[in-house]
Structure 1
Amino acid sequence: MFKKDPIQIITFRSYGTSNHLYVKGRAIEDENIDHSKTGVFNLLWNSWKRFETDKVTNTKLLLTLPDGRSIETTTDSQGYFLIDTTIKNLLPLIDKEGWLHYSISFVDKNLSRKIQRKNNFKGEVLIPSTEVKYGIISDIDDTIMHTGLTSRLKWQVVKNTIFKRAEKRIPLKGAAALYEKLHDGKSGNECNPVFYVSHGPWNLYSYLEIFLQKNNFIKGPILLRDFVNPFVKLFAPKATDGEKPQKQKEIINILKTYPQLPFILIGDSGEHDPDIYIEIAEDHPERILAIYLRNVKHKRKMLRVKGLFKTFETVPVLLVEDSEAAIAHAKENNFI
């Protein structure tokens, strides 16, 4: 009989304010994925382990802050947990970059034999300064990373996701420099927060985290969506009967968390970003400074997007071929 893998708590980099925490993560078995391995078999095996997760369901967890305060939560039927709560006086706990570091552990002592390492898993939450001028909300796929979502039958997506290591994925030219300039702002030291929001599943979290770090993107919360069944359409939003896609819900929650902060939305013209961003801009016109959409190499999709924005005047929209065009627009509008 195969020995079960040890259990762990994966924390997803998230965000909050001086008196509110929004923390996400998942309790699962540790599949011991080695992202440095090469070769077709190893890449296939890593991809299988990302999605064939054995979750730790309906178990209590305890989040502990640096000052000793704690919050209890419980994982759901898929092993996920969410802490969305008011808690005062968090500013003294953040570091100079605005990050609050916490630890989280399993409460059930009977699980201790299944934990390979110390029952103390680390996480971090971004708490932007009240002095920042605006925030940046960015898509990932085909916005900062070549993915191939517009390819026929999504074969390019499968090829890139399964057969390429995170370190080998190609960022879109100039994207990291654009985000750094927006992060620095007009004064050069504004520390405007960057949020990465995608339709991709949480199973790809560590993969995307490595990609962002290796390619020098500004560190920020990474917000993905729940993914249960590997046989459903991988990157499509699951919205029915008027329910908004998870990506849109996350963006709306960011806007609610920082009600005084305007935002720049960055995405691509290939999939759902134009429709989501239009609705958000129409609902919050005073909150959106600009929308930047990267053009994709897909004639029909580009025609549709150009039609959507032909008479759209709610907020400035720029369809760009490269990062330089977005940088030029940001300079003209004194964002940088």
Structure 2
Amino acid sequence: MPRTHLAARIESGFDRAVAHQLRGRGWTVRIEPYAGYGGTGWVRILARTLLAAPHVRDEDLPGAGGSAQAGSRSATALRGWRSFATAQVSGAELEVQVGDRTHRVVTDRGGYVDTILESDLAPGWHDVRLTTTDGATATAPVHVIGPDVRLGIVSDIDDTVMVTRLPRPFVAAWNVFMRHENAREAVPGMARLYAELRAGDREVPVVYLSTGAWNAAPTLARFLRRHRYPAGPLLLTDWGPTNSGWFRSGPAHKVAQLRRLFAELPDVQWVLVGDDGQRDPQIYAGAAQHFPARVRAILIRQLTFGEHVLAHGVPVPTTDQVRAEQDAARRPDGIPVIQGEDGKALLQGVRERGVDLS
């Protein structure tokens, strides 16, 4: 068994020491639930256990689903800072009630639960109950995707559905601390694009796949609700050290999660939606090359001149972008790649290309 990387061992030791001190000061275990998904006979449960100060209310925790319009701007900002008055709890035992089945799971060294559990839930949205041995409880929504579903959407977030206009290194801090939803702007036409892709009586699941940190999950979820984007699980990442290195790879996270979705839901074809400010074109083109039967179409939002300057510091395509365009040119025949400056342009491209959305 390979030895855990030094960075991970240092982080784990520090976290244990901090948790010991905070418990002695009366901090208690809370559960931060995330939306999950599943299929016939199984569900993927996502959550995190944290230590929270006694003065922090459940609705102030990072995972609390408070109203997007509740409170003043200053009060919301205060809750943003309070949400960081937490510490992860590794090795916590949780009881997970999935329908009539009860499971027991243990959080990893980052305090996360990311596990597949047996389920007898019918297709649709359900609530799953999580309980710690200390008595903390939380409810996580889970979307069970039916066996007859054939089309789904995978969407990036930053600069795809939400305008950031920030250099990439600052996006994470913006998502975490600027918690007032009025401070964020939706990309024009994207919510309507998703509504059109999901039009009709059929079920079309949506998964939001981003390199953003889990700390930003509640803020992003409220933004999506406020701007009428369809509900769906967020697949984010932990920016801390891994078992094999100091930092996690954002592109590797996206590639791994796409491959996992393809394997878990083999009957679903996906419309992959992203932007050209990162590596989405390259990642999605690679997915189409290796799994052509799993990709229905690729939609890429083109950043403006100013957005490219802020994202990369240069107004011209980077080496990665050039390589991505070259990869896209070698994509398998029959998989349309549509580019546009906003949702309206992308929707027009979908219609003009006659993309099959059945």
Normalization by structure 1: what TM-score? 0.81
**2:220 is the alignment partner of 1:208:** yes
Q: Tell me the CA shift for residue 247 of structure 1.
A: 2.3
Q: Specify whether residues 37 and 76 from structure 1 end up closer, same or farther in structure 2 by C-alpha distance, changes over 3 A only.
A: farther
Tell me, what secondary structure is at the counterpart of 2:292? coil
Residue 223 in structure 1 maps to residue 235 in structure 2: yes
Between the aligned partners of 1:223 and 1:279, the Cα distance in structure 2 is: 19
Match of 1:166 in 2: 181
Question: SS where residue 76 of structure 1 aligns?
Answer: coil
Distance (Å, rounded) in 1 between the aligned partners of 2:238 and 2:173: 19
**Aligned residue among 300, 307, 325 for 2:316:** 300
Partner residue, 1:327: 347
Contact kept, 8 Å, 1:25 with 1:82, in 2: the verdict is yes
Q: 1:20 aligns with which of 42, 45, 50?
A: 42
**What count of residue pairs does the alignment treat as equivalent?**
304
Alignment partners' CA distance in 2, 1:138 and 1:126: 16
Q: Which amino acid aligns with 1:282?
A: Q
Structure 1 residues 47 and 312: CA distance shift in structure 2, 3 A:
farther
Q: In structure 2, do the counterparts of structure 1 residues 137 and 209 end up closer, same or farther at CA, with 3 Å as the change threshold?
A: same
SS in 2 for 1:29: strand
Q: Tell me which amino acid in the other structure corresponds to 1:273.
A: D
- Alignment match of 1:55 (pick from 82, 85, 88): 88
* Unaligned segments of structure 1, at least 5 residues: 113-118, 230-236
Higher helix proportion (structure 1 or 2): 2
**1:125 aligned to which of 117, 142, 160:** 142
SS of 2:317 mapped into structure 1:
helix
CA contact (8 A) 2:251 2:279 kept: no
Q: Equivalent residue for 1:234?
A: none
1:132 Cα offset (Å): 2.5
Counterpart of 2:73, as a letter, is T
Deviation of 1:18 after TM superposition, in Å, equals 1.5
Q: TM-score, normalised by structure 2?
A: 0.76
In the TM superposition, what is the alpha-carbon distance from 1:302 to its structure 2 partner?
7.3
Which of residues 66, 83, 89 in structure 1 aligns to 2:120? 89
Are 1:148 and 1:154, in contact at CA under 8 Å, matched by a contact in 2? no
Superposed displacement of residue 210, structure 1:
0.7
Identity within the alignment, %? 25
Stretches of structure 2 that go unaligned for 5 or more consecutive residues are: 1-20, 242-246, 309-314
1:20–1:88 CA contact under 8 A, matched in 2: yes
CA distance in structure 2 between the partners assigned to 1:138 and 1:308 by the alignment = 18
Q: CA deviation at 1:288?
A: 0.8
Structure 1 position 17, deviation (Å): 0.4
1:137-171 deviation per Cα after TM superposition (whole angstroms, max 9, x unaligned): 0000000001235x3x6456645653451343111
**What value does the CA root-mean-square deviation take over the aligned residues?**
2.8
Aligned to 1:199: 211
Judged with a 3 Å threshold, the aligned counterparts in structure 2 of structure 1 residues 37 and 252 are, in CA distance, closer, same or farther, namely farther
Q: CA separation in 2, counterparts of 1:308 and 1:133?
A: 28
